[in-house]
Each structure stands twice: as C-alpha cells, then as structure tokens.
Structure 1
C-alpha cells in the first residue's frame, strides 16, 4: 500500500473586492510531497509551524511515517501530533479530519474535498476521530495535539483511511476589502495520513462502473465514466482503458488510457474520456471500459445517450471548439443579396420613371408642334 506520509496542500484564496465577492477557497495539491524521518519535524517556508506525527506502539509498520494503526472494535485510543512554532508570534492551527477520496486523476486525496461521501462508506473517519477545533502554539514552543479515536462496536475487515489537515488560522483582517481590483492570497496546510485496521484479513477488491455521462473538465468536453471501489481497501496500480463508439457500430470515436492509478477505500471518481476538441453530438453510444490491477480484471460495456440540449450547452462552453460562424455568413449573404435586389429595383424604377417623363415630354412637344402647325395652316386659309 503506497501512501504519502504528509502532503503539503496549497489553498488559493481569490477575492474580487470591486464586486464584493465572498472568499473563494480552492484546494490544490502541490506537486511535492515532503518526506520526513521518524523523530524529525516536517516544515515548509510557507508555514509558520512544523509537524511530527507521534507513532504509537500499535503502529503496524514502524518504518512508516504516517499513522497505520492496528486497532480493535469498540476501543478508545488517543494519538498525538507534535506541532512546533519557531516564530516570534503565537500560531493558531485548525485541525480537521477527513475520509480519503479519489480525484479525477486517480490519485488518493487525504485532505478536504467538495465531493459527497461515497454511498458504500460505512464509517466516516471524522465521526470516529475527534480533535479540537483549534489549537494555539505559543511563540518558540511545541505542543502535542491529541486525536481521540473511538472505534465502532461492530468488527470489520479492511481499512478506514483518511487524513488530518493542519492549517493555520488566518487571524489578520484582510486589507483587500478596502482596495479595488483582484488580489490573491495563498494559504498552506499539512495533511497527515491516517489508516485504521482491525485485522489482516484479505479483502477482495470490487470495482463497479456506475453512470456514464457527458461533462466538462477545465472547460473541455469529456465523457465521464464513474468508477466505484465499493470495498474497504485500496485498489493499487489501477490501469484503465476506455473507448466509445456509436451504438451498434465498431468505429472508435474517443478513447483514453491511464495507468498506475490508485483508489481510496470506499470511494468513487469520474474517469474522464477526452474528446480532444471535438464537438459532442447527440445520439446513442456505447462505452467499453477495461480496468486491471496486478491481480484483477474488470470489463464493462455500457450504453448511454447524449441529449441534444446537453450537447448544445456543453459545446457552447468548450474553449477548444472552434465556433461555427457559417450561419452569420449565410445571414450576411442573404442581406447583401436582398439589398442588391432592392437597389436594382430602385434603379429600374428610376430609369422607367425618367423614360416615362421623357416620353411625356416628347409627346407634349409633338402636341405643341402639331397645334402650332395647325394654327399656321388656319392663318394661311384665312388669308
């Protein structure tokens, strides 16, 4: 079982004060895991405190630097994390406990996420492990944070996995509310993994394919295949290969393969199948997906439908799709043709009107000449 002992999380806070938005917290896993050794503190320049898990006697593997405990049903145990403050000021830390989840990249998350609790998760870790809402570390001091574990009465096979997030409380009033424009404030936190076992009984992994549906990742169209690990154990070295065809046809429209993923116990994630900038088209489709580990293999064929309104809505938001302006060209062309026809009609009318006026003018001249000639003829007769 491969677990990062401590993860450094970066919390990016964006505040647009011109329109008085509330703080928007987005938790990003930084692409570095801070390794550390037993008996030493983990620290980072972005944080005002350092952490050290105190490994207890019932640790399954004493070489691990995260909590991997062998426990019994209905027992109570208190574990501790050392926090050290080397600064000149008091530091307030807000500990939180979360059950482990799996993100869309097939990576286990031990920190807080927005996703809902998995339907197969019987025991949520934050209901089993109790910790103070905040702890104060005096300047140039160390303290121990106690975490009280109360195991369920009912025995279970497998693993309960999660993490303890340790984030400094922001005690300074934001000055951004008095300024205009966009400001960005970075906040960091540690996450220490916590794994609870009651025995070493093997648990056979069970992977399920739930719904298949169109969606977007980073403003790009994808087909999501929701995969669920319904067992209380990690699924390691998970390889997934997926391809999509039109229903009852063999031509592959979209395909994605990803290797060496990991799923947390009793968790699910959306495996995204990229459309590579292509438009979503309404219709009936078939997903064929194969998932393998070193010991297991799963295979599914599942039909799904993309509705016209779904496709239209997602296509309009996809930043990689070139917008089709053909209809604009057609409308402009029609307008130009209509304007041209109107101009031709106006020109012809003016020409006909002018010709009619000239004809009438000639007729008037003829009548005058005829009348004059008649008068002259009458005068000659009189003479």
Structure 2
C-alpha cells in the first residue's frame, strides 16, 4: 500500500509546535503515521507527543477526518468540504476519538491520547483517515501590501489507517457521470471517477478526450499522471476546454483510459506524453455520450472569467429582445389602425342614413 498526501515541506517558523506519533506494537511497517492491524471489535489507545518550543502559550485544535480525494487526484486526510462517497461504509470519525484541543505551556511537551476501535465485524481493506493538528487562530505568516493582508495557515497531519488483514484489496474504478462545470470560474467537462473498493488506487494515469458529436470540430484532450485515490472515494476529473473558449451546446462523447499502479511486470502498456513506455497493473476504459443544453452553456459562459463579453451585435438576446419589441409595436400599430378604420366606416354609415331621411 502506498499512502500519499501526508508529506509537508515547511519552514521552521511555520509551526509553533511539533507532533511526534508514538507507534504501537501492532504497527504495520515503518512509517511516520499510524498503520494499525487490529482484530474485530478491538479498542486501543494511541499516543502522540506535542511539543511547544516557543516562549508563549500555544493552543492546538485537534480533529479526525476520513480520507478523501480532491480534483487534482491528491488524497486529503484533513477536514474539508468534499462529500463522502456513498460506498464509504466505515467513516473513521465513528471509530476514532480525540480531545477537541490542547493547551501547551511555553517550552513544554504533552501527550495526546486517541481512542480507536475496530468495527465488531469482518472488514476487508483499509479504513483510512488522518489526525489534524492546527494552532487555534494561528496566523503564522502575515504581510501587508497596498492595504491587503495575506495570511497563511498551516496544519500538521498524521495519517491513521486501520485494517484487519494486511492482504491488499485491489482498487476498482467507475465512471459515474460526465457533466459540464467550472473550476476557478473556468469552463470544464467534469468526469466523475469513483473508487468503490477499500483499497488505494496508486499512480493513476488518465488519458481523456471529449469530442463534439453535434459539432465535430470540437475536441478537448487532457492527460495527467501520478494521481492517487483513497479507498471508497470519488472526484471530478476536469477536462479543460481552454481559457477564453465558450462552451457550446450540443452532444458530445467522452473516451477515457485510466491506468493504475506502475509495475515492471504489469500487463497493460501505454506511452506517456514524452513517448516513454510505461507498464501498469490496472486498466479501465470508458466511453460515454452526454448533452449540454443551451441554458447550461449560457450560464457557464456568463460566469467564466476568461471569456470576453460578446459585442452587442453578436448577442442573440439583444436581437430577440429587439424582435419582440418590434412585434409588440407592430401589434399596437395594427390595433390602432384597425380601430381607426372601424371608426371611419361607422361614421360613413351614419352620414348615409341622414341623407336618405
């Protein structure tokens, strides 16, 4: 098993405290995070040492979160807004408890206890998550430029994995949906990928192409490698249509090949963008047609910050509005003309009657 997303490159002054996990006897392998082999229903107490080497009191907030995968194909072990996948049966927050915060006196160390419990049933694969430590209201770096304050906040994350059997569970991959969307106010096509199994999907290499079926001139391709998915997670793989390009309504087709786990003995071979041949243990292929409605395209294009507004004479809404206005004026003119004509005919009939008498 390979675990990603825990290494942090930090300068000495970024943290006012340090965290050292004390690995227990049931630790699997040698690592800087907890990787526990536990029996069904087993409970145990984990220990971490927090050290404050500064001359002031430091309050540290402590949180536990289930592992998720973000849009960059990077695993996150700290709390975030990513929704849990529907295949996540065992959320680690239900099986691990930690105090909400701890106060560290100047130049002191304290031990923090984490209570973990394995579900009281047979569990295959990995229950994955992390323990996050963050200085309360910590603005460890602040600078001001032209009246703008820039603040950086840092968190220390220790991985927490629990499993009953060290036999790896093979990952799987599903394409659950293909929808237009935005990343940082830029238009993309989101292909949602799901790993429904309780094993890590490592060294992902995705080759994806979206082609227009209504407009065959449209084609968008994105290749990306060295991604990773946590067990029982999903993420939107964004396919950019290029900055400044309007997303067009119509029918499209996505074709995608995903490789996983590099291996010299892998049965699946592909060439990367540099023409180098790579071998992988896993391969998935997907094809899916989808449609973008005119209303969806208009809304996304209006929000894309890289798209220049259309000149007024190219804005179809202006022309439609003008046409409706002309039709309304024509209708009003017709009603007034008809009424005037009818009044004229009625007056003529009255004059004829008077002459006869």
**Structure 1 and Structure 2 fold alike (TM over 0.5):** yes
1:313 counterpart SS class: helix
The match for 2:62 among 95, 98, 121 is 95
Q: CA offsets, 1:101-145, max 9 Å, x none?
A: 111111111111111111111011111100001111122111111
Alpha-carbon distance in structure 1 between the residues aligned to 2:5 and 2:214: 48
Instruction: Say if 1:296 and 1:84 are closer, same or farther in 2 by CA, change over 3 A.
Output: same
What TM-score do you get using the length of structure 1 for normalisation?
Answer: 0.71
Match of 2:308 in 1: 322
Q: CA offsets, 1:162-217, max 9 Å, x none?
A: 11110111289xxxxxxxx6534332210111111110233222100011111111
Alpha-carbon distance in structure 2 between the residues aligned to 1:259 and 1:95: 33
Structure 2 unaligned spans of 5+: 140-146, 261-279, 319-357
Q: Does 1:245 align with 2:206?
A: no
Q: Does 1:59 align with 2:31?
A: no
The match for 2:298 among 312, 317, 323 is 312
Instruction: Say if 1:6 and 1:255 are closer, same or farther in 2 by CA, change over 3 A.
Output: closer
Match of 1:3 in 2: 3
- 1:9-88 equivalences in 2 (<5 Å): 32=9, 44-61=12-29, 63-88=30-55
Q: Does 1:290 align with 2:218?
A: no
Contact 2:201–2:230 (CA under 8 A) maintained in structure 1:
yes
Alignment: residue pair count: 291
What TM-score do you get using the length of structure 2 for normalisation?
Answer: 0.76
Contact 1:214–1:223 (CA under 8 A) maintained in structure 2:
yes
2:14 counterpart SS class: coil
How far is 1:321 from its partner? 2.1
Alpha-carbon distance in structure 2 between the residues aligned to 1:108 and 1:159: 14
Larger Rg: 1
Alpha-carbon distance in structure 1 between the residues aligned to 2:148 and 2:130: 33
Match of 1:185 in 2: 151
Alpha-carbon distance in structure 2 between the residues aligned to 1:5 and 1:80: 22
Match of 1:222 in 2: 188
How far is 1:6 from its partner? 4.2
The match for 2:197 among 231, 234, 242 is 231
The match for 2:79 among 109, 112, 119 is 112
Contact 1:5–1:66 (CA under 8 A) maintained in structure 2:
no
Alpha-carbon distance in structure 2 between the residues aligned to 1:265 and 1:85: 34
How far is 1:253 from its partner? 1.0
Contact 1:5–1:65 (CA under 8 A) maintained in structure 2:
no
Instruction: Say if 1:239 and 1:184 are closer, same or farther in 2 by CA, change over 3 A.
Output: same
Instruction: Say if 1:5 and 1:229 are closer, same or farther in 2 by CA, change over 3 A.
Output: closer
Q: CA offsets, 1:268-306, max 9 Å, x none?
A: 000000101221111111111111122111111111111
Contact 1:7–1:192 (CA under 8 A) maintained in structure 2:
no
The match for 1:134 among 101, 114, 133 is 101
RMSD (CA atoms) = 2.4
Q: Does 1:274 align with 2:260?
A: no
1:211 counterpart SS class: strand
Instruction: Say if 1:291 and 1:265 are closer, same or farther in 2 by CA, change over 3 A.
Output: same
1:315 counterpart SS class: helix
The match for 1:145 among 82, 104, 112 is 112
